[in-house]
Amino acid sequence: MAITREHELHKRRSGRNVGLALVLVAFIVLVFGLTIAKVQSGASLQAYDHSYRPSLDPDNVRYPQR
């Protein structure tokens, strides 16, 4: 008897692995889609990026930068 013989047990485990893989792929696709949706409908995406930008400071709203 070859040690590599396919057992019914292996089929079950393979089914479980494939199922879990599909769930994980679906989750990744969903999170990616959510990210795109959030970015598309998001508010201002600007940030300070390590240096102070007066145009983004709420205190400067009365004197907006041109």
**Which residues, 6+ apart, have CB-to-CB distance to 47 below 8 Å?**
56
- Does residue 40 interact with other proteins by CB under 8 A? yes
- Does residue 9 interact with other proteins by CB under 8 A? yes
**Which residues, 6+ apart, have CB-to-CB distance to 39 below 8 Å?**
45
Query: Segment contacting other proteins (CB under 8 A): 18-26, 44-52, 54-62?
Result: 18-26
- Does residue 24 interact with other proteins by CB under 8 A? no
14-34 in b/e burial notation, b at 16+ Cβ within 10 A?
A: eeeeeeeeeeeeeeeeeeeee
Query: Segment contacting other proteins (CB under 8 A): 33-41, 45-53, 55-63?
Result: 33-41
Contact positions vs other proteins (CB under 8 A): 7-9, 12-13, 15-16, 18-20, 30, 33-34, 36-38, 40-41
